[in-house]
Structure 1
Amino acid sequence: MTTLERVTGPNSYAQASKRLLRTTLLDGLQELLTQRDWSKVTMSDVARHAGVSRQTVYNEFSSRNGLAQAYALRLVDLFTGEIRDAVTDAPGDLDGALTDGFVRFLTGAAADPMIASLLSGAGNADLHRLVTTDAAPLIAAAKDRITGIVTDSWIELPVGRAEPIAGAIARMALSYVAMPPEVPIEQVAANLAALFAPAVREAMA
């Protein structure tokens, strides 16, 4: 089998189709959440919005909770991507990179409609569990992504030193999703940067 055949074979097309379906469904959920609270969004709503069957949505996410978790994991990718970009944009400036990264994360969280539903007080117990008692998958995903950022960028931390710091950042960030700050985002970001920068510098030494 040639390289081209491996890249464009049936499995590749199936995987691409699956990714497209998942993206379409999660994009549709995000749009629905701008119109109504999570408590009023059903799997049938998501299916109708995407033009697929309700069973297709269940096949992809298994349950409504699975749909919420998949959406939250995508947010982890988006938010840690913002942190990665902040680090890339500020080579050599650790305090600036951390501050900007936290600003981008907190700003994105404040604007997301799923997080708005979480904070609405509309009885969304499943969302609260997702970021508290059932938060392990989100923390693990965020930790992995942040570890990659601080090991592969100009920060260049050894993996063994990066992982504890990344885990602490992930847990701290998630706590701000569950309970947003009452002071300006910029102030919170500066405080978090001041908290974590010394640990990162020590690990870089």
Structure 2
Amino acid sequence: MSAPTSDRPTYAAASKLLLRTSLLDGLRELMTIKDWSQVTMSDVAKHAGVSRQTVYNEFSSRNGLAQAYALRLVEEFTSEIGAAVEAMPNDVEGALAAGFAGFFASASQDPMIQSLLSGEAKPDLLKLITTDSAPLIESASRRLDTTLRESWIALPEHMSGPIARMITRLAISYVAMPPEADFDVAGDLSAVMSPAIVAARGGS
């Protein structure tokens, strides 16, 4: 008789996740007092109380650290959409508007995005959301695809993927150029995207 399987993470996996979370949280705290251009791997290690080699083992490079941080940001975006979908059943446009608005609000307060938009140009950060954005788009699209298929929206699989990618690309495009304060960009985006989702659901 085989041993029962469990979805619970192993101790090693849980420890690794805790370390990664602590390092990324520490980076966020550091960027509230130092511009990204001034943050070093040693700074992150010292702030977290670990060795510099530990930080390199986890992220490989400073660019890897920035990418991991950016990946967590897009995960927060998909969580905003997911929470809005759950809170607003049968209201596609309202859920999208709330999700976009929540993401834009949190992104505007994020220290890495603030660093990207202020001071000297930071090509490494800009590349993360433009020419090197494939990992971000893939991660967020995959999570959104699940929401679009498994929530009350219940899109068919052949439509959920393309729509998830479009929503993701739209959201990321506004990171480098935030929405104008005098326009309801979240509402505009949801008004444009929701008819496609409604049509893919069969008009309901």
The question of a shared fold, defined as TM-score above 0.5 by the shorter chain, is answered with yes
Offset at residue 132 of structure 1 (A)? 0.6
Partner of 1:15: 13
Query: Aligned-pair distance for 1:200?
Result: 0.3
Deviates more, 1:140-149 or 1:41-50: 140-149
Residue 196 of structure 1 pairs with residue 193 of structure 2? yes
How far, CA to CA, are the matches of 1:57 and 1:80 in structure 2?
A: 27
Cα distance, 1:184–1:145 mapped onto 2, change above 3 Å: farther
Which is richer in helix?
1
Instruction: Give a deviation string over 1:140-176, Cα, whole Å, max 9, x none.
Output: 1111111111111100001110111111111111100
Per the alignment, residue 127 of structure 1 pairs with 125
Alignment of structure 1 residues 17-96 onto 2, 5 Å: 17-96=15-94
**Which AA in structure 2 matches 1:193?**
S
Going from structure 1 to structure 2, the CA distance change for 1:7 and 1:132 (only over 3 Å counts) comes to closer
Alpha-carbon distance in 2 for matches of 1:126, 1:178: 13
Alignment RMSD (CA, Å): 1.6
Q: Map Cα deviations across residues 22-80 of structure 1 (whole Å, 9 max, x no partner).
A: 01100000100111110010000000000000010000000000000000101111121
How much does 1:122 deviate? 2.1
Q: Give unpaired runs (5+ residues) of structure 1.
A: none
Q: Deviations over 1:70-94 (max 9, x none)?
A: 0010111112101100010000111
**How big is the shift at 1:125?**
1.0
Identity, in percent, stands at: 58
User: How is 1:87-126 mapped onto 2 (pairs within 5 angstroms)?
Assistant: 87-126=85-124
1:97 alignment partner AA: A
In the superposition, the TM-score normalised over structure 1's length comes to 0.93
| Mapped contact 1:157–1:203 kept (Cα < 8 A) | yes
Contact 1:43-1:57 at 8 Å conserved across structures? yes
Distance in 2 between residues matched to 1:139 and 1:48, nearest whole Å: 31
In 2, the alpha carbon distance for the partners of 1:123 and 1:49 equals 26
Structure 1 residues 7, 135: CA separation in 2 closer, same or farther (over 3 Å shift)? Answer: closer
TM-score by length of 2: 0.94
Count, aligned residues: 201
Letter in structure 1 aligned against 2:47: H
Q: What is the CA-CA distance between 1:7 and the residue it aligns to?
A: 7.1
Letter in 1 for 2:77: F
Call closer, same or farther: CA 1:7–1:98 in 2, change over 3 Å: closer
Question: Quick check: 1:39–1:123 contact (8 Å CA) kept in 2?
Answer: no
